[in-house]
Amino acid sequence: MNDYYLKKLAASIAQDGEIKGANAQRVLKTLSLKDLKKFLSFLKTELLKSTVEVSSSDKLVAETKQLLAKKFQGKHLVEKVDENLGAGMMVKSYDMIYDLTVMGSIKEIAQKIEDTI
């Protein structure tokens, strides 16, 4: 199977943010070891692309969740609570990071100080 179809397959399987049993069986039975390796690599990327990780110091309220689901439509939201962030929210979506936390702001300031040392 060529890379294009492997990518397509990985994207369709990763749509829900998880691999369903039937799909997993099909993939394991039909792909060669070499293609399976490639497929897993593509799947990892696709899963990362289709997942949005939201970290905050408190649990998100329903209103915020709705808002985030609207903004990142079609993507699977993973919520994390991290008290060390101080306050605010950090969103990771594949290769994009939106750090809107107090800790993030402090780290930014620290980085600026470090650069001037």
Partner 1 sequence: MEILQNFGFQPTLFIAQIVNFLILAYVFKRFLYKPILKTLKERQKTIAKGLSDAEDAAREKELALSKKEEVLNEAAKEAEKIIDSTKKSAEDLKEEILSEAKKEAEKIITSAKEQADIQMESMEKRAKQASLDNSMAILEKALSSLFTKEERSKILSRSVKELKDID
Site for partner 1 in 31-90 (CB under 8 A): 56-58, 60, 64, 67-68, 71, 83-89
Return the CA Rg of the chain. 19
Q: Which of 2, 62, 114, 115 binds partner 1 (CB under 8 A)?
A: 114
Q: Indicate whether 91 belongs to the interface with partner 1 (CB under 8 A).
A: yes
Instruction: Please spell the DSSP secondary structure of 48-94, one letter per residue.
Output: HHTEEEEEESSPPPHHHHHHHHHHTTTSEEEEEE-GGG-SEEEEEET
Backbone angles phi, psi at 105, to 5 degrees: -65, -40
Q: Does 103 bind partner 1 (CB under 8 A)?
A: yes
97 binds partner 1 (CB under 8 A): no
Least Å distance between CB 14 and partner 1? 23
**Where would I find the H helices in the chain?**
3-13, 21-30, 33-49, 62-71, 102-116
Q: Least distance to partner 1 from the beta carbon of 106, Å?
A: 6
The residues of the shown chain that bind partner 1, judged by CB under 8 A, are: 56-58, 60, 64, 67-68, 71, 83-89, 91, 98, 100-103, 106-107, 110, 113-114, 117
